[in-house]
Amino acid sequence: MSSKVPGSRLAIVKKILKSVASAGASPIRQQKHNKQMHQKSPPPRKQQAKNQAKQTKEEKKKGRVASEKKRLQRRRELKLPAKNRRAKEVCDKYEDKVISSCSRLEGRREKPKKRARPQSISFGSDCGGLGTDAIVVKKACQRKGIQMDFKFMSEADKSTRVIHRALGKLHGFEPQKVFTDLAKRGSDTKVEFYMAGPPCQPWTSLVNGAGVEDEAGRGTVMYHVVHYLRTAKPKAFILENVVGLYSKHLEDMAAILEALENPEELPGYQASWKKVNALQNCCPQSRPRLYLVGIRNDCCNHTFTWPQPLPLVPPLDMFLDSKPNDHPPKFNATEERNYSMWKKKLRKIGISLESTTFMMDLQAGKNFGQCTKDHCPCLTKARGKSVFFYFLSEPQHQHL
Give tens-digit pLDDT for 124-161.
Answer: 999 988 899 999 999 999 998 999 999 999 998 898 89
pLDDT score, position 107 = 44
Last residue of a domain, one of 79, 100, 129: 79
387 pLDDT exceeds 60? Answer: no
pLDDT band with cut points at 50, 70 and 90 for residue 395 = very low
- CA gap 31, 28 in Å, rounded: 5
Residue 144 lies in a domain: yes
Q: Bigger pLDDT: 102 or 14?
A: 14
Last residue of a domain, one of 273, 299, 325: 299
The answer to whether 378 touches 370, Cβ cutoff 8 Å, is: no
Over its C-alpha atoms, the chain yields an Rg (Å, rounded) of 34
Q: Partners of 237 in the beta sheet?
A: 194, 294
pLDDT band with cut points at 50, 70 and 90 for residue 1 = very low
Residue 32 lies in a domain: no
Edge to edge, what strands does the sheet with 147-154 contain? 177-179, 147-154, 120-126, 193-196, 236-241, 288-296, 269-277
The answer to whether 310 touches 281, Cβ cutoff 8 Å, is: yes
Please write the tens of the pLDDT for every residue from 38-55: 555 555 666 777 777 777
User: Do 181 and 69 belong together in one domain?
Assistant: no
pLDDT score, position 150 = 94
Residue 113 lies in a domain: yes
Q: Partners of 147 in the beta sheet?
A: 120
pLDDT score, position 101 = 63
User: Do 71 and 85 belong together in one domain?
Assistant: no
pLDDT score, position 202 = 83
Q: Which of 27-36, 77-86, 368-377 has the lowest mean pLDDT?
A: 27-36
166 pLDDT exceeds 80? Answer: yes
Please write the tens of the pLDDT for every residue from 264-299: 666 788 889 999 998 888 888 888 999 999 999 888
CATH number of the domain within which 147 lies: 3.40.50.150
What average pLDDT does this structure show over 336-352? 81
User: Do 166 and 233 belong together in one domain?
Assistant: yes
175 pLDDT exceeds 70? Answer: yes
pLDDT score, position 75 = 60
Supply the range of the domain harboring residue 378: 316-399
When the pLDDT of each residue in the chain is averaged and rounded to a whole number, the result is 75
Q: How many CB atoms lie within 10 A of CB 149?
A: 17
The answer to whether 225 touches 239, Cβ cutoff 8 Å, is: yes
Please choose, from the candidates 76, 129, 104, the residue with its C-alpha nearest in 3D space to the C-alpha of residue 270. 104
Residue 31 lies in a domain: no
Last residue of a domain, one of 62, 79, 96: 79
What average pLDDT does this structure show over 228-252? 88
User: Do 280 and 380 belong together in one domain?
Assistant: no
pLDDT score, position 193 = 94
Percentage with pLDDT > 70 across the chain: 68
Residue 142 lies in a domain: yes
- CA gap 146, 138 in Å, rounded: 9
Residue 307 lies in a domain: no
Instruction: Report how far apart the first and last C-alpha atoms of the chain are (Å, whole number).
Output: 108
User: Do 199 and 186 belong together in one domain?
Assistant: yes
User: Do 220 and 339 belong together in one domain?
Assistant: no
- CA gap 261, 270 in Å, rounded: 6
User: Do 209 and 292 belong together in one domain?
Assistant: yes
User: Do 326 and 212 belong together in one domain?
Assistant: no
Residue 122 lies in a domain: yes
393 pLDDT exceeds 50? Answer: no
Residue 311 lies in a domain: no
CA distances from 241 to 102, 221, 283, 353 (A): 28, 12, 18, 35
pLDDT score, position 396 = 44
User: Do 134 and 242 belong together in one domain?
Assistant: yes
User: Do 285 and 365 belong together in one domain?
Assistant: no
356 pLDDT exceeds 60? Answer: yes
Q: Bigger pLDDT: 361 or 75?
A: 361
User: Do 206 and 123 belong together in one domain?
Assistant: yes
The answer to whether 175 touches 154, Cβ cutoff 8 Å, is: no
pLDDT score, position 397 = 46
Please write the tens of the pLDDT for every residue from 83-107: 555 777 878 888 888 877 654 444 4
User: Do 90 and 232 belong together in one domain?
Assistant: yes
- CA gap 82, 91 in Å, rounded: 17
In sequence order, the 6+-apart residues with CB closer than 8 A to the CB of 309 are 280, 281
pLDDT score, position 237 = 94
27 pLDDT exceeds 70? Answer: no
Q: Report the domain count for the chain.
A: 3
pLDDT score, position 106 = 41
203 pLDDT exceeds 60? Answer: yes
